[in-house]
Structures are given as structure tokens and as C-alpha cells.
Amino acid sequence: MLELKDIRKTFHKGRERVVAVDGVSLTISEGEILGLVGESGCGKSTLSRIIMQLLTPDSGSVKLGNIDLTSLPRREIRRHRLDFQMIFQDPYASLNPRLTIFSALGETLQQRHPKLKGPALQDRVAGLLETVGLSPRHMRRYPHEFSGGQRQRIAIARALAPEPSLIIADEPVSALDVSIQSQILNLLRRLQSELHLTMLFISHDLSVIRYLADRIAVMNRGKIVESGDPEAIFESPREAYTRQLLAAVPRLPHEAATV
């Protein structure tokens, strides 16, 4: 579904040269959730924005199916962006405060289905809200009238609206309370099962990644330093950096005593 080959991206801050992404190659199979984990500043979000074509890499290629996104003109990228959608970290900042939820989801649906209007459009918006566990009765409300967890459900519904092939979730639960995090993670697992979603899930939290991902890639200083099955990485990590991340995962007292 997604293939990254030797992606590199450098930023210049005054005279300083910062290598954000340094030769990253990754693949994600159809229906798979790949968890990308690493501490803040390791290059995860820069990589996600390169996949979304919000940033242009210095070199390398991003292929979605058979389409090389990095070789397309900007107009073509806009047309293909319906096939890859993003869920951002802050659900309030990612929603337009001037649009009702009906307008936000309706506009996105009409990008894929321009002739969808009237009762048919309202039914589709209602169906999206029900899919993410919200009541259709609230579709005429504005983002500020919802809690953080509800807003993230709306953001997930908006990502689903154009029927994308790939969803990129960039720290989608880190801004939420712990109890709400589990609800959103359970929702994503259910959607992945029911809709056969393909997803790149980005987080700094290994415990979240372990719960959700089919496969894990560990990123450090712009490079992928380790990848593999979640249980294998947790039980026998090869890299010192991965062991440091694992050591930072909070444990209950009885768990810590057995380590």
C-alpha cells in the first residue's frame, strides 16, 4: 500500500544544518497498522508530512500503490490526497471552528462524491458519526461544543469520509486524558477490523504502539533503527535506543519488581 525509499529531509536554521529524516525506507501492507515510535524530535512528524506531501523531501520517493507521489505536480497531488488522510494530534486545532460538524464532514464527503446533496448527504454524515460512536443529533453543533475525545472522534470521521486507502495518525491520543485515550484506541482497532484500514500510527508511547500496531518501526535521529513484530521488540530489543524507550514505559510496582 505504501512504500518509502531512502527519504531524506534537511532543514537549515541560520548556519545550522538539521537532518530531520536520514535515509528512511519503509513499507506498509494493505490492512496493516504500522506503529512508528520514537522520542520527540526524532523526525516522526516530519516523515508523516512528507508522506502527506505537505513537505517535499530532499531525495527519495513516496509510493502509494503504484503512484509515485513525489513525482506528481501539485495539482495532481491535491487530487490524489483523497486517498491518504491524516488524523492530527490536536483535534481542536485541526477542525475549523466556524464550521458545524455537518459542514466539515459534508464538504469532505463531497470531495469524493460531488453530486451528494440534500437528504442523501445528511444520511452519509449521520452514518459517519455513528461509525465513530457519536450521535447524529449533534451534527449541527460546532467543535467547541464537544469534549476533546469527541472532537478526535469527529477528526477520525473526517479522515474516513473520502474513503482513503491510507490513514496517517500523528500522535492522535497524546493530547487526551488516559481514560479517553483507551476509548480512541479501541475505536481505531474496531475501525481497522471492520473497514480493513491501512494505517501509519505515530507515537512516542511504546505501550500505545504495542496495543494497536501489527508491526513496529523505531525511529531515532532521523533513522529507522529497528523494526519488527511488537512482541519480539518488547521481549528482545536489539538496539540500545529501543531498550531505553522500553525502560521509560511506566510499570505497576509488581511488574517493575520482576524486571
The whole-number pLDDT of residue 41 equals 84
- Give 147-175 pLDDT, tens digit per residue: 988 999 999 999 999 999 899 998 888 87
Q: Which residues contact 222 (CB under 8 A, 6 or more apart)?
A: 19, 20, 21, 22, 23, 24, 42, 43
Domains of the chain with bracketed CATH: 2-258 (3.40.50.300)
The whole-number pLDDT of residue 46 equals 92
Distance CA 201, CA 174 (A): 12
Q: Which grid cell sits at 176?
A: 487526551
Distance CA 125, CA 147 (A): 19
Q: Which grid cell sits at 196?
A: 480493513
- Give 58-78 pLDDT, tens digit per residue: 999 999 988 899 988 888 888
Q: What is the 3-state secondary structure (H, E, C) of 35-60?
A: EEECCCCCCHHHHHHHHCCCCCCCEE
Distance CA 30, CA 198 (A): 6
- Give 177-217 pLDDT, tens digit per residue: 887 888 888 888 888 888 888 999 998 888 888 888 999 99
Strand 2-13, strand 59-64: pairing: antiparallel
- Give 116-133 pLDDT, tens digit per residue: 999 999 999 999 999 999
Q: Residue 159 is inside which H or E element, if any?
A: helix 148-160
pTM equals 0.87
State the DSSP string of 96-148. Answer: -TTS-HHHHHHHHHHHH-TT--HHHHHHHHHHHHHHTT--GGGTTS-GGGS-H
Tell me the pLDDT of the chain averaged across its residues.
88
Inter-residue contact 42 to 219 (CB < 8 Å) = yes
Q: Which residues contact 49 (CB under 8 A, 6 or more apart)?
A: 55
Distance in angstroms between the alpha carbons of the first and the last residue of the chain = 38
- Give 11-63 pLDDT, tens digit per residue: 988 888 889 999 999 999 999 999 999 888 888 989 999 999 999 999 999 99
Kindly indicate the confidence band of residue 255, based on its pLDDT and cuts at 50, 70 and 90.
Answer: very low
Kindly indicate the confidence band of residue 235, based on its pLDDT and cuts at 50, 70 and 90.
Answer: confident
